[in-house]
Amino acid sequence: MAIAFAGAIIEAVAVIGIIVPGTPILMAVTGAAAAGGQPMLPYLVLAVVGAVIGDFASFWFGAHYAGRLRRMWPFTTRPELLARADWFFDRYGTASVALCRFLPVLRSTVPLVAGMTGMSSKKFVMANVTSAFVWAPAHVYPAQFAGLMLDALRDGDWVAVSLWGGMLLCCAGGAWVVHRLVVVRAR
């Protein structure tokens, strides 16, 4: 469980979340736990708390080091990281804190920009916590499902696994389309 918790935190912390993929760690541990018959509620709670902590750490860092961040690595070598987060934050305001949780790279840089711009802590915490309650189940339950499908494969139930796999591919395709419409088209 500690690894799942760490994965949720890592995913949201500025810079670290770009380098270390916390979501696959969280999902792999959760899927393995589901395949082992463990209850998902503790993993869900840890994912919510970890996501809130990670985003708040980035927000705090942005608020306290705003003047120096653009002159620090990796932003000196890759200024587009903060430029995209700036644009996204300018466009969506407080909602960007919730929306970015589902978008790679922006997930760990928008909270940083929110802190840098002086966003009120109250607004940030509200967006951070409410989005964590959506983000965590969106990652824990599909991972649980994948773990349970391993049992179905072991039992030889290829039809159910194929149907669910097809549905998963459709959902992934839909998420890709939404990502292209929201992030890529907006550039």
Q: What is the pLDDT of residue 62?
A: 92
Q: Is residue 137 part of a domain?
A: yes
**Is residue 186 pLDDT above 70, yes or no?**
no
- d(C-alpha 25, C-alpha 5), whole Å: 9
Q: What is the pLDDT of residue 187?
A: 53
Q: Is residue 148 part of a domain?
A: no
- d(C-alpha 54, C-alpha 142), whole Å: 21
Q: Please compute the mean of the pLDDT values over residues 133-151 and round it to a whole number.
A: 89
- d(C-alpha 76, C-alpha 173), whole Å: 34
Query: Which single residue is written with the structure tokens 């389309």?
Result: 177
Q: Which residues contact 17 (CB under 8 A, 6 or more apart)?
A: 10, 11, 54, 58, 107, 108
Neighbour count for residue 187 (Cβ, 10 Å): 8
Q: Is residue 163 part of a domain?
A: no
Model pLDDT for residues 50-95, shown as the tens digit of each residue: 999 999 999 999 999 988 888 888 888 888 888 888 888 988 889 9
Domain that holds residue 104: 2-143
| pLDDT mean across residues, the chain | 87
Crossing angle of helices 22-35 and 121-154, rounded to 10°: 40
Contact 67, 152 (CB under 8 A): no
pTM confidence score:
0.82
Q: Is residue 23 part of a domain?
A: yes
**Is residue 183 pLDDT above 90, yes or no?**
no
Q: What is the pLDDT of residue 185?
A: 57
Query: Which single residue is written with the structure tokens 């965590």?
Result: 136
Most confident segment among 6-20, 33-47, 102-116, 171-185: 33-47
Per-residue tokens: 75: 């932003």
Contact 112, 81 (CB under 8 A): no
Model pLDDT for residues 3-46, shown as the tens digit of each residue: 899 989 988 888 788 788 888 899 999 999 998 889 999 999 99
Number of DSSP helices (H) and strands (E) in the chain, helices first:
10, 0
pLDDT band at 156 (very low <50, low <70, confident <90, very high): confident
Q: Is residue 120 part of a domain?
A: yes
**Is residue 119 pLDDT above 70, yes or no?**
yes
Q: Is residue 14 part of a domain?
A: yes
Per-residue tokens: 121: 């802590």
pLDDT band at 123 (very low <50, low <70, confident <90, very high): very high
Q: Is residue 123 part of a domain?
A: yes
